[in-house]
Structure 1
């Protein structure tokens, strides 16, 4: 499914927006559909149905997709998401501090000094 397959209109369903944006992010990120399906707990066939807007997305599935991509949930719901904007989300995935998004306590918060 491409953005040309679904024409923007007043009747554009959120389901279609999520499918369109998920396809866009997949194609721009180099991530695999089968890995997304696995992360969402779906079979490849079920994933294909959602990406083609033949099956509806649940809120849990949409959240799982956003988590998989490392983007805000609103990115998948954005009717005006462009490839450039999608790439910006991917480039700046949730954390840009070089530690894969893990929180690190500051100095003085070591377990032996924290009182825990």
Structure 2
């Protein structure tokens, strides 16, 4: 997700605001202290203009490969 933030030339603060959460809360999500949920992923993907699966690929949650 940090790559998409850099590509879009935005900031974590802007992403947090778009997601409706405080910047420290987003920082906790990035550090792994707080879990991401599907609502978080959807809001972040809308803001970053990418498909939600682009944000979770390689993170252990890849619904298109479940059952393999």
Bucket of the pairwise TM-score, normalised by the shorter protein: 0.7 to 0.9
Instruction: Find the residue that maps to 1:55 and give its secondary structure.
Output: coil
Aligned residues: 59
Gaps of 5+ in 1: 1-21, 81-116
Q: 1:53 Cα shift?
A: 1.5
Instruction: Find the residue that maps to 2:35 and give its secondary structure.
Output: coil
Counterpart selection for 1:39 from 9, 18, 28 = 18
Residue 27 of structure 1 is matched in structure 2 by 6
1:55 aligns with 2:34: yes
Q: Which has the higher helix share?
A: 2
TM-score normalised according to structure 1 size:
0.47
Q: 1:47 Cα shift?
A: 0.7
Larger radius of gyration: 1
Structure 1 CA distance, aligned partners of 2:56 and 2:37? 13
Gaps of 5+ in 2: 60-68
